[in-house]
Amino acid sequence: MDSGDLLPVGRRVAYWRGRRRLSQQMLADRLGKSKSWVDKVERGVRALDRVSTLHDIAAVLRIDAAVLLGRDARPAEATERTEGVERIRAALSAYEITLGRATQRPAVLADRLTRQVGHGWVTYQHARYPQLVDLLPPLLADAQRTHARDPATGRGPLVEAYRITAALLVKVGEADLAWLAADRAVAVATGDRALVAAAVVQLGQALRASGRARAARSAALAAAYRIAPADPDDGTPQELSLCGALLVQAALAAARHGDEASATELLGEAAAMADRVGEGHDHHRTGFGPTTVGSARVAVAVELGAARAAVTWHERTTRRDAWRWLPAEHRAAHLLDAARAYLQADDPASAGRALVDAERTAPAEVRHRPAARSVLAQVVRDPHAPATIVQLALALGVT
């Protein structure tokens, strides 16, 4: 089966049935099905859209279920993700410049480094995580080298490089390593209020992901009130965006440890600032605005177990015109939260549709996030899960 990746599932069943020297009737008898059922499956007239059925066929044919989908039993994506994280870990573990060791790579000009950082953020916002994994180690090395040569000019790009790294590591489930990157961003930013506030956005994410919700809330609030203008009417969009994004982080942290009153109050403050900032902006890479606050309301409601409220906010948020302006990463992450909300509301069919939309919007958001795999595992257990979800689950080894 040299071109097996091109064959549909039914043709694979026929191929492996032939390899095992089974007739359609023999396969049908072992599955407890009719010969007509097997024939329709092999001709593609009947879809194999249940995990249990695929596993039953694979067991009779003595192959891994993933083979029926033309995938390796161990997805290559998992290996690549692990190797990529190790390369980032190595980059964060390099102390050559701090220790005064000579390096072969020359320092990068600040303008070029700024462009590289911008490219890194765009890659993240498009949820191209495998590409970003490759970009980050050399970007971190270049940013560290430039900062060592010229701390004043290199500080901003280095903080941003650490922020991107922390954001990605949170996505792929490496919370403690993300905390290290975010902590370094804060340390390098010290002395610049805006840079510190921007770095604490990722610090809050990393602390929350590592189970330190109270610390995340404390850090986010401290940074928010430090950057907040004395009079909101006099605040610049940049200040309001940073302050609002930090209040959102504090609200998410409050919800994580069950403090509904604080979470609601903090989101109300963030919403007022978002109205002043308006839609369609990305100050300090926060993407802050009314629609992102609406999206945060969904995540907070899910954390609090308020499924119906989460679903209502999801439907309201995605009807906004500005929803289409959000980066693919943000929209797909929101759809994962929506899927969790639908599961809490005992609506696995809608959860499945949200997952399909998320995978269509940003495949890596579903394929590379452990949190997404957890949701996928819950959705695929439903007997009416969409065929696309069943195939995705099997391809990723989630059953």
Q: Would you kindly state where each structural domain of the chain is located, as residue ranges?
A: 4-69, 76-211
Please compute the mean of the pLDDT values over residues 386-397 and round it to a whole number: 78
pLDDT at 2: 41
Q: What value does the mean pLDDT of the chain take? A: 88
Hey, which of 56-65, 233-242, 328-337 has the most confident mean pLDDT?
328-337
Which pLDDT belongs to residue 3? 39
Over 60: is that where the pLDDT of 65 sits? yes
pTM of model > 0.85 = no
Residue 116 clears pLDDT 60, i.e. is over it:
yes
Rounded mean pLDDT, 218-237: 92
* pLDDT reported for residue 4: 42
Residue 26 confidence (pLDDT) above 60: yes
Q: 76-211: same fold as 4-69?
A: no
Band (397; pLDDT cuts 50, 70, 90): confident
pLDDT at residue 98, rounded to an integer:
60
Which one has a higher pLDDT value, 213 or 78?
Answer: 213
pLDDT in tens, 118-158: 999 999 999 999 999 999 999 999 999 888 888 899 999 99
Q: For residue 67, what pLDDT band results from cuts at 50, 70 and 90?
A: confident
Per-residue pLDDT band for 79 (boundaries 50, 70, 90) equals: low
- Model confidence at 46, in pLDDT bands (50, 70, 90)? confident
Mean pLDDT is lowest, of 181-185, 234-238, 268-272, for 234-238
pLDDT value at 166 more than 60: yes
Using one digit for the tens of pLDDT, what is the confidence trace for 340-349?
999 999 999 8
Instruction: Pick one of 1.25.40, 1.10.3470, 1.20.1740, 3.30.70 as the CATH number of 76-211.
Output: 1.25.40
pLDDT, mean of residues 305-324 = 96
Least confident of 14-23, 105-114, 155-164: 105-114
- Min mean pLDDT across 102-106, 288-292, 350-354, 370-374 is at 102-106
* pLDDT higher than 60, residue 281: yes
Contact 158, 146 (CB under 8 A): yes
Residue 304 has pLDDT above 70, yes or no: yes
CATH class of 4-69: mainly alpha
**Whole-number percent of the chain with pLDDT over 90:** 63
What are the pLDDT digits (tens) for 189-219? 999 999 999 999 999 999 999 999 999 999 9
Per-residue pLDDT at 193: 95
pLDDT band with cut points at 50, 70 and 90 for residue 80: low
